[in-house]
Homo-oligomer: A and B are copies of this chain.
Amino acid sequence: MGRVIVECVPNFSEGRSESVVGQIVKAIASVPSVAVLGSTMDVDHHRSVVTFAGTPKSVQEAALLGVAEAVSLIDLKQHRGVHPRLGAADVVPFVPVKGITLRDCAELAVEVGERIWRRLGVPVFLYEAAARRADRVRLEHVRQGGFETLVKKVLADPASAPDIGGPALHPSAGACIVGARKLLIAYNINLDSSDINIAKTIARSIRASSGGFPHVKALGFALQSRGIVQVSMNLVDFEATPLHVVQEAVRVQAENLGIGILGGEIIGFMPQKVLEQAAAYYLKFESFDSNMVLERQLEQRLGD
């Protein structure tokens, strides 16, 4: 039947020391049946992101080891970056990839949150699909004010207390925001133009926050090195708003503005289903389901 696969994409408050990030990645990669798919560091944000995947239990174990390493190596009191953060291990989302639901991933997140508090003494806020309160669903609401504000607020205001442990934050590692969310696709479309206003206009017209497509975040950027502009997107629910629908909208808008599309790019990875959605749409199959794909059949029938 193929394995159950969960992805985890923790964000750590260290983006300058390769040694520190390297030790965190090493701790994560030490767990059998876990594959580190990538890690990035950002000097300005002073932040790093590690992407790894595996079976639920191995991913939980690896997340805990990564958080433990960050808690022992990172001192938030010394940390200054442009990106808001609440903890040394700032955000730990669990993402369903295969054979598991978002709800299941929320349960994995709660279990890891409890272990983070018990073993490391770092209190935990639960967000997105793992949130216990409506005002903690959105990450930006949980993180509001950051470590420096929350460290006092949790003691003064019981309503601000963490969901697990606390109420005091950890003196050097703050708190950890643990949760579950759907798989996010980072998708950019490069335009044959150097006019940043065109990229911004298109981004505004397609993003959810400006009344565009649901589950789409978009910004217009200039790519200085190539002399072109880009619509940079996050598709936070590609099953509800498929990539090809967004691509068509950007293409039509660009055409209306007299601009061509140079091409699309995926930052990181996209799930198989994106291809299936696009193929079913463009190839006009009378009916399409993934069982028409030979490899899916073999996976199901041979456990390949």
Contact = CB atoms under 8 A, between A and B. Distances in A.
B285 A282 contact: no
A286 B262 CA distance: 7
A274 B275 CA distance: 10
A191 B143 CA distance: 56
Nearest to A301: B35
A285 B263 contact: yes
A294 interface: yes
A278 B5 CA distance: 26
Contacts of A298: 5, 35, 53, 97-98
Interface in A184-227: 190
B302 A286 contact: no
A262 to B, nearest CB: 7
A284 to B, nearest CB: 5
B272 A295 contact: yes
Contact of A264 (B190, B262, B285): B285
Nearest to A5: B298
Contact of A294 (B247, B264, B270): B270
A295 B98 contact: yes
Question: How extensive is the interface on chain A, given as a class?
Answer: 35 or more
A304 B37 contact: no
Contacts of A271: 293-295
Contacts of A3: 302, 304
For the complex, would chain A's binding face be called helix, strand, loop or mixed by DSSP majority?
A: mixed
Contacts of A263: 284-287
Given A98-B295, A263-B284, A304 B272 contact: no
Nearest to A35: B301
Contacts of A243: 283
A287 B262 CA distance: 11
Contact of A297 (B269, B286, B297, B302): B269
A72 interface: no
B297 A190 contact: no
Contacts of A251: 284
B37 A247 contact: no
19 contacts: A35-B298, A98-B298, A98-B304, A190-B286, A247-B284, A251-B284, A263-B285, A263-B286, A263-B287, A264-B285, A265-B286, A266-B285, A269-B292, A271-B293, A271-B294, A275-B278, A275-B293, A278-B283, A279-B279
